[in-house]
Structure 1
Amino acid sequence: MAGKTTTACTHEQYETIIKTLYEGIGDCIQPNPRIATILVIEANVGLRIGDTLSLRRSSFIKTPSGHAFNIVEHKTGKIRRFKVQEQVYNFLLEYADSEGIEGDDLIFPIGVRAVQKHLKKVCDWLGPEYEDISTHSFRKYFGTEIYYKNGKDIELVRRLYQHSSAAVTARYLGVTDEKIEQALDSHVDIIYRPK
């Protein structure tokens, strides 16, 4: 997957990959609920894979309105504290409890390469429409979904990702400059030569 342009998962691809990881496919793909859970978290909170894998039970803090993550991003070194939806918090807590993960233990004691390798095997099995999918596709899925579900608010997504500019976020998501295109489309004013 290295050297390729990673695309955001579509909703259908996201569902298919996660279902395949949970259930497996005969002898070809063994079920792997841990990797499924990792990718579900990445798709729901927008963390990079390395940051997702560094989550610990102690990464959660109680706030007046629920729970939040309190992490330092590996890539940027930025402190990031943000709300975790209760469904996501409960999902992770249920997973941690089922795996006997306590206190300061890593929730996902696995390496990035192992996750990438298993995901590639699943994507290869699913076919060519999955060839540009990587672990980063789930972070991009998160941003793309937030973008479209919130009136194409690129500034909102920029702040969630902590990017330096909206232009960086637009490139990251592969969003064309829709406002320019719409402005051009709405300003056609041709006067034809009389016959």
Structure 2
Amino acid sequence: MKVEPITSMKDVKNIKRLLQDHPRNLLLFIMGINSGLRAQDILTLRVVDLLDKRVGDRIVVTEKKTGKQNVAIINKEIADTFQKYLEYYECEADEGQFLFQSRKGKNYPITTYRVTGLLKEWTSAINLKGNYGAHSLRKTFCYQQRVHFGVSWELLSKRLNHSSPSVTRRYIGVQDEEVESILLNNI
């Protein structure tokens, strides 16, 4: 069953508010919706990968699924959230630890399965109906970029390393309401 993007900015803000006292989970959510990377690739990041990075700096990631290199750019939201994360966890003593470590310890990241569980918890906590999972983070990035920032299908396709914009359109899923809304345009 396919997962959905979080389409409402209000819901995005509600989840951010919900996670304010949980720096690891907030950073996971922020990185997921701001980078466009797959959750499995975000989970490979270590503290050292973000340490000393500033807004505009790049992090190079090798995608597990494709083996291709991809980048994440540190934006202000990621930088600010990472700073809070560092202050909370006092990570600088062990820079090699995973950003999103599991209960097994600093040498083990949480799993994509756990990210799916977290997304389900967060969306349930704000009474958001639908099917959400780890991939909802990436899909939320795409949806918000397209709807709120007007980013073209072509650019999104390139960002996601999809073979064509039509693959990206199927991936995000165009809602019936969006198609029907064009019928209100006056020509």
TM-score (norm 2): 0.74
Alpha-carbon offset, residue 63 of structure 1: 9.0
- 2 CA distance for matches of 1:61 and 1:153? 32
Work out which of the residue numbers 44, 49, 57 in structure 2 matches 1:67: 57
Contiguous gaps of at least 5 residues in structure 1: 24-31, 188-195
Confirm or deny that 1:50 pairs with 2:40.
Answer: yes
Matched, 1:39 2:29: yes
**Residue in structure 1 matching 2:4, options 7, 11, 16:** 7
Q: Which moved more, 1:41-50 or 1:110-119?
A: 110-119
User: Structure 2: how far apart are the matches of 1:64 and 1:17?
Assistant: 25
Q: 1-side partners of 2:99 and 2:86: how far apart? A: 6
What's the offset of the Cα at 1:48?
A: 1.4
Is the contact between residue 23 and residue 84 of structure 2 (CA under 8 Å) also seen in structure 1?
no
The Cα shift of 1:61 comes to 8.9
Residue 71 of structure 1 aligns to a residue whose secondary structure is strand
- The equivalent residue for 1:123 is 123
TM-score by length of structure 1 reads 0.72
1:52-79 Cα distance to aligned partner (Å, 9 max, x none): 2211233349899841111111221111
Specify the alignment match of 2:18 in structure 1. 20
Distance 1:49 1:152 in 2: 22
User: 1:169 matched to which residue of 2?
Assistant: 168
User: Partners in 2 of 1:171 and 1:163 — Cα distance?
Assistant: 11
* Corresponding residue number in structure 2 for 1:136: 135
Instruction: Map residues 82-97 of structure 1 onto 2, 5 A cutoff.
Output: 82-97=72-87
2-side partners of 1:64 and 1:96: how far apart? 14
> How far, CA to CA, are the matches of 2:41 and 2:169 in structure 1?
22
Q: Which runs of 5+ in 2 are unaligned?
A: 103-109
Assess, with a 3 A threshold, how the Cα gap between structure 1 residues 61 and 135 changes in structure 2: closer, same or farther: same
- Asked whether 1:104 is paired with 2:96, we answer yes
Q: What is the CA-CA distance between 1:35 and the residue it aligns to?
A: 1.5
Q: Is the 8 A contact 1:22 1:33 kept in 2?
A: yes
Does 2:67 match 1:77?
yes
Aligned residues: 173
Over 3 Å counting, the alpha-carbon distance change for 1:20 and 1:175 in structure 2 is same
When residues 175 and 53 of structure 1 are mapped into structure 2, their CA distance, relative to the original with a 3 A threshold, is same
